[in-house]
Structure 1
Amino acid sequence: MAMRCDVLVVGGGPVGCIAAASLSQSLDVKVLEEHPRVGEPVQCAGLVTPRVVELASANDTIINHIDGACLHFPGGRTLSLQGEEVKAVVVDRGEFDRRCSERAIKAGAEVLTSRRCLSVKRSADGITASLSDGTVDCRAILAADGYRSTVAQQLGLGKAMEVVRGIEVDLQIKADDQHRVHVFLGRSIAPGFFAWAIPCGDLTRVGLCVSPENGTPQRFLNELLHRNGWSDAERVRNYSGIIPLGSLKRTYTDNALITGDAAGMAKPLSGGGLFTGMTAGGMAADVLRGAFQSNDLSARRLSDYELRWKRVFGDEIRRSYRVRRVFARMTDRDLDKVGGKLDRENVTSILATGDIDFPTALAPQVLKASPSLLAFSPLLLLRLLRR
């Protein structure tokens, strides 16, 4: 079966669907979703900032509000951070995805489920995408198809610098403090990343990510559950996923834009990608609509997309990725030393004001309050200090 459209959005997650909703205001748009039902399987912890929910107009998917955090260091030190306002919300991720899909459909986009883009090639009028049951000819394509993006790789734009592998489980445990997340650090806990426990009403969502060279995350999850006395708790649901870290060198080419995880836009320090992806997806839609109006879908015209998203969060991703590289090399002893330097009232009060969408924004204040942190990576941290 051969189909046609103005813009083909590959990927029916929030990033692709919110972009499709915007594009459909003036263009014929189709969305490819590889799974039978949008939002399944869930591959995300569901912890986002309120601004992400606003982008999707999906307040009804919120199941909890978070205003504090406990950081657990390898040697047993715990840092307690308490914000003065809601810092994050926990959403029902499956329902959140479906709200985004509904917005795209209401705007006029056609969402095609159980359709995976197998390959793409250039045509006289734009791009042809091959599916298992046919083809789609489009004048432009927006790739929101995740970390192993077929579109990005086949159009010569490559892939993210690295990935981490994640796993999590919903346990039948009700947390005593429903408004505080727990973060666990240590090479024996989650080498190359961190572990978490998120209160979700009657459930607690426990998970972690690890760098691939450290083995499978399942072993580390089992050890985390055992260490915290959660091994015997009923497991309600299991999730897994892969997070790309480090953005593509270029996110545009003739007739095509790359966004979200496909472009490596996940935040390197937290792994979250909805804010960056949905924001960039909206920018991609704006640029594509303008390009259609001027009948110019060249790489030169579409390059404005990259300028826009880099202006908003490009520096944050770059700085965060550098910090993560330093963090990933730290031993447990190093982490404990960092914990000691942060465990001061003048520092924790600064950390408690942070924005998880822009975590390095606090770096100058933190380094001025605790300059001995410079010992861990002087050149990098001095750059953060001068940002």
Structure 2
Amino acid sequence: MWKRWQLFHATDFQSLMYPNFVFCYILGLFPYRINASTIETSRQRYILSTLFICVICIIDLICLHQIINTEAINFGGIIRTIEVTSFFITGGFIIFITYILNNPRIRVLLAMLESSSYLPPESYQKLSRWIHVKDIFGTSFLIIMQICTYYYKIHDYSIFSLLSTYMLLVVFSMNMQYINCVYILKDCFKRINNNLMHMQRIMENDIKPYVPSLICHMQRSQFLLIELRILKKQHLTLSNTVKMLNITFSPQLLATLAVTFTEITFELYKHLIQWRDGLSFILDDKMSDIHFLMSMGYEVLKIILIVWTCETNKNQVLEISTTIHDVLNHATNEQIKEELYLFSLQIMHCKNTLSTKGFSMNATLLAAVSNKSFALIK
């Protein structure tokens, strides 16, 4: 059963991801049942999801057949036809691979459920303000944008409009699910770093930490040693979750990058012309121009959001490594020093880089693909 959910008042991982889970369920991509403390596959929902995805894939193939093998569909030029064809091919692939990876995805969600259990309630409150707004506002914006497109541009091809809307919502929901997981992991890494910094202050100022009654008799060094081992175990759990996240979401992210930069390239190519003194926008149709600006803004912001989230997560992981060396400089107990050395080695071996099929999701990748897109336009 779902727990009682309140907007911006998340108390655990399930309530934090609630809007995204609801949208995925509506789209037929959430064949799971959420209980009080776990997420499990529902046989009934899995069957319904299978039937629904099969229907969507058949419709996608029919649309592609009509576009490629018949001349009855006219999108206004060869460039637009190629753009629509590539979008339906990539969108169909994302839908299919998302369904195929349902089982690995539930393992990722269970790993996230375990990893996020280390966070205090205050962290869930802060995270929910960002995650809930992003998911709800982004989905609403997409629906409104597609409704405007349907009424003002392609009302003659309702099946194509509905299918493209569904594909956009699927891509957006999967991207937001990935971003949410990365953002939660970043907060988990940040908590580990804060605890290490607190340990450093204890060593520097000889602050007596608060301890439960069961370990009041322990010495300060023993308490720090136990705390350090707990943090090391938490870090290993988070690192394993990052690996699972990379493996499970890599196909969708790679396809998302492909469809995003394809859309940007074609749209810019259609709306830019080469003048003697530079490039100029063609703004001859008001509604078309508004749709162009909205779609470009959406695509650019989506990619920037993915890259920014991955970059901040990477920086947070690197900060832990720096903090460990600072703590090591203030440690005097040999056991604590040895544990810090082991922790440092663990961080070196755990490559917590968020990537997709070997491509790191960072600003370098964004700049490289952007330069390639503009080179193709020129």
Give the TM-score normalised by the residue count of structure 2. 0.31
Greater fraction of residues in helix:
2
Greater fraction of residues in strand:
1
Q: Between the two structures, name the one with larger relative contact order (CA 8 Å, sep ≥ 6).
A: 2
Bigger radius of gyration among the two: 2
